[in-house]
Amino acid sequence: MSDSTKNGFPAWLIAWMEQNRISLWGAANLRDFSTPGDENGRGFPRALAWAIPMNPEIMAAIRNGPNQAYADEYTRVNNRINELAADLTNEIHNRGFRAKNLAASVRTDLVNIKGDFPHKTAATRAGLGWIGRHCQLITRPFGPWVRLATVFTDMELPCGPPIERNFCGQCMRCIEACPAKALTGRAWYPGLPREEILDVSACDTWKKTHYFEYHKGHNCGICSSACPYGTKVLKKR
């Protein structure tokens, strides 16, 4: 975050983010959303969201399908997210507030193929990026080559502003790259149902049929690898 957008955040939180080398983060107003509850079943009005970048060379190398390097990087970053989210949750608890971390890449609804809450919703509400035609968050610094973290809380925090439009223009590269033909090509806007962008069943079936050796078919990444916002990151390096 820039110095100007740090105004209003507690100094300890800014220091925690800097200590853990998290450069893209913010707070999301979730009062209009149903969030997972605490031990008493109470939801949360806000969330802290951040992005951890994936290795761009690895991401660029999966245009024709996932490989072991990508599967390993996926695991490494997810583990790092879970460690950091648990640590931040404890920090918030120690300061007298409620908090609950959302696990990375865990499906709790196997029928609808989704987790307890979309990390991407918290991220867009926090202003980290927008949802591309491949149904993934796209950020300015890292493109879509990120994994996302979410910690729900009742701390008073300066939220957003949320990103409420997409910046994909007329680009269809992710649509053309998807081997499952699971992407509709619709441009995202807040409130657009996931099924209007992604046929999640077709995506899931393709992965389990063709890439089962990588986390039992939970990995693909081809559409993300094709995204120009990702390849820009690689060119900068």
The model's pLDDT over 26-45, given as tens digits with 9 standing for 90+, comes to 999 999 999 999 999 999 99
Read off the pLDDT of each residue in 165-173 and give the average, rounded to a whole number: 97
Residue 212's CB: how many other CB atoms inside 10 A? 12
Summary mean pLDDT of the chain = 95
Residue 113 has pLDDT above 90, yes or no: no
- CA dist 27 and 55 (Å) reads 25
d(CA 138, CA 229): 7
67 pLDDT tier (thresholds 50, 70, 90): very high
Percentage of residues in the chain having pLDDT higher than 70: 97
Residue 190 scores a pLDDT above 50: yes
Q: What angle do CA 24, 115, 140 make, to 5 degrees?
A: 20
Q: 90 and 155 in contact (C-beta within 8 Å)?
A: no
pLDDT at 7 > cutoff 90: no
Query: What 3-state class would DSSP assign to 138?
Result: strand
At residue 6 the predicted structure's pLDDT band, cuts being 50, 70 and 90, is low
Q: Using one digit for the tens of pLDDT, what is the confidence trace for 70-93?
A: 999 999 999 999 999 999 999 999
183 contacts 201 by C-beta, under 8 angstroms: no
**pTM for this model (two decimals):** 0.94
Mean pLDDT for the stretch of residues 182-192: 97
pLDDT confidence of residue 5: 45
Residue ranges of domains in the chain: 3-236
Q: Read off the pLDDT of residues 148-166 as tens digits, 9 standing for 90 and up.
A: 999 999 999 999 999 999 9
Give the pLDDT of residue 55.
97
How many other C-beta atoms lie within 10 A of the C-beta of residue 217? 17
**Residue 161, preceding bond cis, omega within 30 degrees?**
yes
pLDDT beyond 60 at 2: no
- The H or E element spanning position 175 is helix 173-177
Q: What is the mean pLDDT of residues 101-118?
A: 90
Q: Residue 4 pLDDT more than 50?
A: no
Provide the token pair at 40.
């008493």
Q: Give me the mean pLDDT over the 9-27 stretch.
A: 97
pLDDT at 167 > cutoff 70: yes
